[in-house]
Amino acid sequence: MPTADYHLHTPLCHHASGHPREYAQSALNQGLPEIGFSDHNPMPRHFDDWRMSIAEFPQYLQLIQETQAEFANSLPVKLGLEVDYLPDPPSQSWIKELAAKADFDFLVGSVHYIAEDWAIDDPDPKWQSKWADPEGIENAWTEYWKRYTAAIASGHFDILAHPDLPKKFGHRPTGDLRRFYGPAIAAAQECGVAFELSTAGLRKPCQEMYPARQFLELQFAAGIPLVISSDSHQPGSVGHAFPQAIALAKEIGFTHTLQFTKRQPTPVPFP
């Protein structure tokens, strides 16, 4: 039996399709043991166009509750949220406030923004031009991993999403990338959080799971758990390439994944 998939979106993020029940049915058809929705969190001010608004947040909770009820006898459906980490104090306070607004099973932390208006995964040419030379790549990776490590150390999250997101378009600095990975691994070891092994990277220009094998090897050596996620934005992507991800995790040495209930993890052996 495959593992749980905890990174599923809904149309409320304005760049996903399909009702949550369609995601649940897709998971059920594949024999997944449970799923969890973690759509992009609302912000206290208009921030971008790819997340639910505060006004839509009650609708998000209702959609998940309805799906939980509909599949109560066949598939556990967990409530989560993908929360963007921003380093300023008001954003830190907002994360705490948001976490108290519902009885979440897990919170997924992510870093998309390395500047107020620059999302590292934005395909807009005006941002891609910043990746045009080795210095730009080095600077972007440096700022990303600085924020990612701070997100881990914040203690806000249970799972950290797509660790090496800056490689999405194939941009990687030269040299040993452990200079970026090491501080994040140390912070996760200290805080007791899990990293996500995301198959979404296989559907991106980098054509590689997030994170890279070297990161996973460091993660395993540090005793940091992992969950496997699809980052699905449509029902057909639920559980995408999970057999491949499980095989990779087991090859490295992982024997368990995690399932979450009310923000408490339970180790579950891989099939």
Percentage above 70 pLDDT, the chain = 100
Across the range 120-128, mean pLDDT stands at 81
Instruction: Measure the CA–CA gap between 86 and 220, rounded to whole angstroms.
Output: 27
pLDDT exceeds 70 at position 1: no
pTM to 2 decimals? 0.96
C-alpha pair distances (Å), 3 with each of 8, 37, 104, 243, 244: 14, 15, 20, 9, 12
CB burial of 129-139 (b: ≥16 within 10 Å; e: otherwise) equals ebbeeeeebbe
Instruction: Measure the CA–CA gap between 166 and 137, rounded to whole angstroms.
Output: 9
Q: Which of these, 124, 194, 198, lies nearest to 157 by C-alpha position?
A: 194
pLDDT in tens, 163-179: 999 999 999 999 999 99
pLDDT in tens, 53-93: 999 999 999 999 999 999 999 999 999 999 999 999 999 99
pLDDT exceeds 70 at position 48: yes
Instruction: Measure the CA–CA gap between 271 and 159, rounded to whole angstroms.
Output: 21
Report the chain's mean pLDDT, rounded to a whole number. Answer: 95
User: Given phi > 0 = left and psi -120 to 50 = alpha, else beta, which region is 175?
Assistant: left
Residue-level pLDDT at 5: 98
Residue-level pLDDT at 132: 75
Instruction: Measure the CA–CA gap between 230 and 5, rounded to whole angstroms.
Output: 7
